[in-house]
Amino acid sequence: MPKLTIDSREIEVAPGATVLEAARKLGLEIPTLCHLDGFEPSTSCFVCVVKLKGKPGLVPSCATIATDGMEIESETDEVRDARKMALELLLSDHLGDCIGPCHAVCPAHMNIPLMIRQIAAGRLRDAVVTVKEHIPLPSVLGRICPAPCEKGCRRGQHDAPVSICLLKRFVGDADLAAPEPWLPERKASTGKRVAIIGAGPAGLSAAWYLLQDGHAVTLHDDHEKPGGMLQYAVPEDKLPRAALDAEIAAIAKLGAELRLGSRVESIAQLRDEFDAILVAAGELRPGDAGRLGLPASKTGVEADKATLATPVEGVFAAGGAIRPQKMAVRSVADGKAVAASIDCFLSGSPHASRVTRHDFSTHIGKLRDGEMTAFLAEASAAPRVEPAGGASAGFTGAEAREEALRCLHCDCRKPGACRLRRWSAAFGASPSRFKADRRTFVQHRQHGLILYEPGKCIRCGLCIQLCARAREELGLTFIGRGFDVVVGVPFDRPLAEGLRRVAAECAAACPTGALALRQGEDA
C-alpha cells in the first residue's frame, strides 16, 4: 500500500491509485475538467496539475500513479498560477456566452433569458421568482427602466431586440394582479435588527433581501410616503403610483416596518436599537454625511467599493447616498448587494468582505456574417411585438408569449454544470487575459436531444471514449491535429447519426457547454 504526502498530510492508498484519488481521500478537492471516474485519463486540461517533489515541471494528478514516499504539493502559488493560466488559455479559445448579453449588462444581474423562457412556457409564477431574485420592483422598473439589457440583446443585431423591459413589467403586473401575489420564504429569525435610512429603490431592495435572510428591518424615511424619488420625482403618467404602492406593500407584507415622516438626525440615535445601519437616503446634500456622523467622499458617503461598508463599524451605504444614480435599477442592484454584505456582517461570516456582484461569464461579442443563422434557427421570426393597447397598457398574455418566443436563447445551456466556468470563477481566471482571433461560431442542431457547440469544446475526448465504449456505429472522433483539432462525427455525418445511443450521457459527461441537452438546465 503506497503511502504518500499531499501538502504534508500523509495518506495511504491502494496500489495503482492516482494522486487525484489520494487527494480525494484526504478530502482535498483538486479541480478537474477532463477527468471522469471510470474513464482513461485524458491528461488534456492540465487544470489538475500538482507539484511532484523532485521532478521539474508539474504533473497531472489525474494520471499520476501514487507511489510510496511521493511528496505532492497542491496548494502552492506555482500550482495555483498554472491552474489559473490553464483556465485562461482554455477561455481564450472558448466561444460562447455563459450568460446572455442582456443578462450580462443588466445592472441588477437578472437572469433575463430564463425569465423569457418561463414566460414563453406559460410558467408565470416561475418567472416572478426569477425576476424577484434580483428585482423586487419589476412593475415599477418595467415602466421606468431605460433598459440597457435591450441594447445588449443579440437579437438587436438581426432586427430588433426582444422587448425585455415590457416582459418584465408583464411578469410584475401579472403577479400583482394574482389573487395571492408571490412572497418569498423568510429564513428563521436571526434576532438581528437592521435600520435602513431612506425608503427609496435602494432601501426597499435591501429590505426585501435582508428580510429573506431572517433579519428584522425598519425603513426610516422623512417623507410621508415610501418610495423616495420614485414617489416624488417620477411623473404619474410614467409610473402610476398604484404599481409602486403595490410593490412596496409586498415588501411590507414580507415584514418590513416603515417609520415615515421622521428624520434620522444621526446614526448615533439608531445604534442602541439596531445591529446594523444602512444609509440609503438617496443623493445627499453637502454636510449631510457629517451630520449623520459619517466620513464623506466627493460624491456622498464614503464606502468600500466591494462591501459597501462605511469606515464606521456596522454602518453601510448604498445607492445615491454613495454617488448620484441615474438609473433606479442600479439602486435596486446596490440594495441587493449591500443586503448580502450586511448579512455577512451580521452572521460573522469570514467572507464578510466579499460581495460577488458579477457572475463569471465569457462573451462572444458581436456576431460575424452568417453566425446569426444558428441563433435564429429556433426563434420566432416575427418582428418585435408592440402592445396593441399602447406602451402604457403593456403586453397582454398572448403578446408577451409571442414576444418571448423571439428570444435567441444565446445564453449557455449548461451554466450551472460547466466545470470550466466553475473553476474559472474560483481561480479568478480572466477570459480576456489573452488577446486572440476568435473562431467562427458554429452550432450543430441536427440532434433531437442535444446541441453541440464546437467553440466550447476543450478537446478532452470524454464523449469519444463514451461512444467507443457504447459501440456507437459512427460515434465521435477527433478530426485534425493540434490547435485545429475538433470533435466531430466521422465522414462529416450529422450529429444525430453519430450519437444514436449515448447522446444524453455525452452531454452529462461533457465538462463544458459544448455538448448540452437542448432543454438546458432550466428547472
Residue ranges binding other proteins (CB under 8 A): 41-47, 49, 56-60, 63-65, 78, 81-82, 85-86, 89-90, 92-93, 434-437, 458-459, 464, 467-468, 473-485, 488, 490-491
Angle, CA of 281, 284 and 290, to the nearest 5°:
100
Burial class (CB within 10 angstroms; exposed 0-12, middle 13-18, buried 19+) of 118: buried
Least separation, in Å, of the C-beta of 411 and other proteins? 24
Least separation, in Å, of the C-beta of 101 and other proteins? 25
37 or 484: whose CB is closer to other proteins?
484
Crossing angle between the packed helical segments 419-427 and 77-92, to the nearest 10 degrees: 130
Least separation, in Å, of the C-beta of 3 and other proteins? 18
327 or 425: whose CB is closer to other proteins?
425
Burial class (CB within 10 angstroms; exposed 0-12, middle 13-18, buried 19+) of 435: exposed
Least separation, in Å, of the C-beta of 436 and other proteins? 6
101 or 454: whose CB is closer to other proteins?
454
93 or 257: whose CB is closer to other proteins?
93
Least separation, in Å, of the C-beta of 466 and other proteins? 11
Least separation, in Å, of the C-beta of 52 and other proteins? 11
CA dihedral 83, 86, 88, 91 (to 10 degrees): -130
- List the helix and strand counts (H, then E) for the chain: 20, 14
At 464, give phi and psi (nearest 5°). -65, -40
Least separation, in Å, of the C-beta of 446 and other proteins? 17
In 13-87, the DSSP E strands lie at 49-52, 59-60, 71-73
3-state secondary structure of 194: strand
Least separation, in Å, of the C-beta of 80 and other proteins? 12
Q: How many Cβ atoms from other residues are within 10 Å of residue 161's Cβ?
A: 21
Least separation, in Å, of the C-beta of 65 and other proteins? 7
Interatomic CA distance for residues 395 and 399, integer angstroms: 5
CA dihedral 395, 399, 403, 405 (to 10 degrees): 140
69 within 8 A of 402, measured Cβ to Cβ? no
Nine-digit cell string for 113: 433569458
29 or 81: whose CB is closer to other proteins?
81
281 or 458: whose CB is closer to other proteins?
458
Least separation, in Å, of the C-beta of 455 and other proteins? 13
Nine-digit cell string for 85: 493560466
Least separation, in Å, of the C-beta of 63 and other proteins? 5
242 or 468: whose CB is closer to other proteins?
468
Interatomic CA distance for residues 355 and 18, integer angstroms: 37
Interatomic CA distance for residues 202 and 213, integer angstroms: 17
44 or 325: whose CB is closer to other proteins?
44
Least separation, in Å, of the C-beta of 434 and other proteins? 5
25 within 8 A of 13, measured Cβ to Cβ? yes
Nine-digit cell string for 84: 489559473
| Helix or strand holding residue 24 (H, E) | helix 19-25
458 or 514: whose CB is closer to other proteins?
458
Interatomic CA distance for residues 341 and 415, integer angstroms: 25
Least separation, in Å, of the C-beta of 415 and other proteins? 21
230 or 420: whose CB is closer to other proteins?
420
366 or 481: whose CB is closer to other proteins?
481
Q: How many Cβ atoms from other residues are within 10 Å of residue 21's Cβ?
A: 19
| Helix or strand holding residue 124 (H, E) | helix 124-132
357-379: burial string, b at 16+ Cβ within 10 Å, e else: eeebbbebeebeeebbebbeeeb
Interatomic CA distance for residues 290 and 87, integer angstroms: 47
34 or 147: whose CB is closer to other proteins?
34
139 or 512: whose CB is closer to other proteins?
512
